[in-house]
Amino acid sequence: MRPFILGATAALASVVLINSAALAKSSIRLELAGSYKTGVYGEGAAEISAYDCATKRAFVVNGDSESIDILDLSDPANPVKVGALSVLDYGSPNSVATARGLIAIAVEAEPKTEPGHVLFYTVTGTFLSAVEVGAQPDMLTFTPDGKSVLVANEGEATEGTGLPNPVGSISLIDIAKGPRHAVVTTLGFEAYNGQKTQLIAKGVRFVDPNATVAQDLEPEYIAVAPDGSRAWVSLQENNALAFVDLKTKSIDDIVGLGSKNFALAANPLDASDKDGKINIVNWPASGFYMPDGLVAFSGKGKTYLISANEGDDRDDFLPGGETARVKNLKLDPTVFPNASTLQQDENLGRLTVSKLDGDTDGDGDYDQLFAFGARSFSIWGADGTLAWDSGAALEQITAAALPADFNSDNAKNNSFDTRSDNKGPEPEGVAVGQVNGHLFAFIGLERIGGVVAYNIDNPLAPTFVQYINNRDFAGDAEKGIAGDLGPEGVEFVPAGHSPTGTPLLIVANEVSGSTSIYYVKRVP
């Protein structure tokens, strides 16, 4: 490992960047406890985790073996695999959650355009039941009381042809009488099929002109209100949120999230992978927020949402694709009088943008440029109004910590700057947890790797606390000696549930197939 340390705190991980000012107050420090390695590279052998405090076990989605790995975390410094739950008879696992002694697993069918299932087990591994849900259940979560499971059924189209294209949906599974007596209510978007124009006016993005609204809307992630009354569902590629009333079991609104202006002073980015340097500056482009991970929390007496603004496209699913390089677009000469300079590779030319959006006057050239993702995490009001955004901080933090490996890819080392043209560090997962009376957010960065921690006691003015990355940039990724690659799932374990009494952060790394456990230590 090649350590980079800023501040007074050493760590076992390869990178520790600490905000010394934040540590002057009551704060936290992440320290690597231990890792479990499957030894499987690039096959999704560690994706999403769920922890059960009674058994001190973590349950981790292993897409390579089509199973849930069971890890004993009694000693977080020495996680041990003690078993696995195969779901091969039903398909491929996408997500896992635990509550009240139960495990729920979201499993997509083969082919994934067919209805999927949610499987229920006890935390000791006894199968209880399976229920049918919508196509491609991509994420699930329990409600706070543990009496229901909510499922985001993404309903992606078939790659290449775009057909068949199942509808996206949200399944509400009532297990108040136990999983063997589960009652499933699946909410679709068919009622909105005649309202595409109105939804576009509200900022909802549509991709496939041949799809109905119900087919085009694709649920990605679910956040549940702390009181269990409401849920918010990220419709990632649509750059929107769906609002679900859990009392009436209905979708009562869909709102667009807008875009982030990279020309504003607070929002610079590095847009080129061909300039051979870190160059975080303002450009005349915007980015759709397009959140993946989404969490609801209470702060200052209100409910807020926190999103990891990854960005995503349907290039593989839409015939003809939807992405383009800026250099290959015809730019409006009035809006972009310096187009020839902007479109050079070392400037804005390499940036990946949408070719479906931006021709606002319909004259065949582009008046605006929209990238995928905002390279940030955001805090939103319960109504979907933007309250705060991290701006350029994620790129700036990683540039300070890893100047020789800035905007690296997660598939291999020696990939400096290769992601600058496409989503940068790519924030993917997010978790929120309370430590010593203070509230913190943890954001996983899918490409360069690692986790960024922020204090969010004031949701309108979060403060950076720490960046930690258990990746060895001198190692060979395919040989499994490069540490953690591609953090997908991030889970916080509070002190009262931790086997050691110290809060934990569990990070499942999709590319390296490793699951790492961090101590979340109080700083007095």
**Cα 165 to Cα 217: distance, rounded to the nearest angstrom:** 11
Q: Are strands 102-108 and 92-99 parallel, antiparallel or unpaired?
A: antiparallel
Q: Which pLDDT value is given to residue 25?
A: 63
Q: Please say if the pLDDT value at position 117 is more than 80.
A: yes
Tell me how far apart the alpha carbons of residues 488 and 13 are, in angstroms, rounded to a whole number.
18
Show the CA angle centred on residue 105, arms to residues 101 and 111, nearest 5°.
Answer: 165
Mean per-residue pLDDT over the chain, rounded: 95
Q: Which residues pair with 119 in a beta bridge?
A: 105, 130
Confidence category of residue 24, pLDDT binned at 50, 70, 90: low
- At residue 256, φ and ψ (nearest 5 deg) are -80, 155
pLDDT of 97 over the 60 cut: yes
What are residue 170's DSSP bridge partners? Answer: 152, 187
CB-CB contact of 505 with 490 (8 Å): yes
pLDDT reported for residue 160: 84
Q: What pLDDT band is residue 2 in, cutting at 50, 70 and 90?
A: very low
Mean pLDDT, residues 123-129: 98
215-271 pLDDT tens trace:
999 999 999 999 999 999 999 999 999 999 999 999 999 999 999 999 999 999 999
Per CATH, the homologous superfamily of domain 4-523 is YVTN repeat-like/Quinoprotein amine dehydrogenase (2.130.10.10)
Residues 300 and 367: their CA atoms lie apart, in Å, by 40
Q: How many residues does the chain have?
A: 524
Q: Compute the average pLDDT of residues 52-79.
A: 98
Provide the 8-state DSSP code for 471.
B
Ordered by start, the domain boundaries in the chain are 4-523
Rounded to whole angstroms, the Cα distance separating 403 from 406 reads 5
How do residues 396-415 score in pLDDT, each as one tens digit? 999 999 999 999 999 999 99
pLDDT in tens, 482-503: 999 999 999 999 999 999 999 9
Mean pLDDT of 56-80: 98
Quote the tokens at residue 10.
């050493």
Contact 36, 71 (CB under 8 A): yes
Question: Rounded to an integer, what distance in angstroms lies between the CA atom of residue 519 and that of residue 503?
Answer: 6
Tokens of 377: 């995490």
Give exposure, 495-510, as e/b (b: 16+ Cβ within 10 Å).
beebbbebbbbbbbbb
User: By CB neighbour count within 10 A (0-12 exposed, 13-18 middle, 19+ buried), where does 20 fall?
Assistant: exposed
Long-range contacts of 227-234 (CB under 8 A, 24+ apart): 227/144, 228/143, 228/144, 228/145, 230/382, 231/150, 231/170, 232/294, 232/296, 232/305, 232/384, 233/152, 233/170, 233/294, 234/291, 234/292, 234/294, 234/307
3-state secondary structure of 398: helix
Instruction: State yes or no: pLDDT of 1 exceeds 70.
Output: no
Which residue, chain included where needed, has tokens 């701006």?
391
**Cα dihedral sign for 383, 380, 142, 495?**
negative
Looking at residue 304, its amino acid is Y
What's residue 5's pLDDT? 27
pLDDT tens for residues 137-166? Answer: 999 999 999 999 999 999 999 988 888 999
**What does the pLDDT look like over 329-344, one tens digit per residue?**
999 999 999 999 999 9
pTM equals 0.96
Q: Which of 466, 475, 459, 414 is nearest to 445 (CA)?
A: 466
Report pLDDT digits (tens) over 295-342. 999 999 999 999 999 999 999 999 889 999 999 999 999 999 999 999
Closest to 146 (Cα-Cα) out of 101, 89, 112, 187 = 101
CA distances from 412 to 45, 210, 367 (A): 17, 38, 36
Nearest to 269 by CA among 448, 461, 425: 425
Condensed to tens digits (0 to 9), the pLDDT of residues 423-482 reads 999 999 999 999 999 999 999 999 999 999 999 999 999 999 999 999 999 999 999 999
Amino acid making up residue 8: A
**Partners of 245 in beta bridges:** 230, 250
CA distance 130 to 151: 14
* 448: its two tokens: 């360069």
At residue 9, does pLDDT exceed 90?
A: no
The position carrying tokens 């679910």 is 222
> What confidence tier does 13 reach under pLDDT thresholds 50, 70, 90?
low
| Residue from 317, 319, 315 nearest 352 by CA | 315
pLDDT value at position 338? Answer: 97
Tell me the C-alpha distance between 286 and 357, whole Å.
11
Q: Could you tell me the pLDDT band of residue 3, with boundaries at 50, 70 and 90?
A: very low
User: In this model, does residue 8 exceed pLDDT 80?
Assistant: no
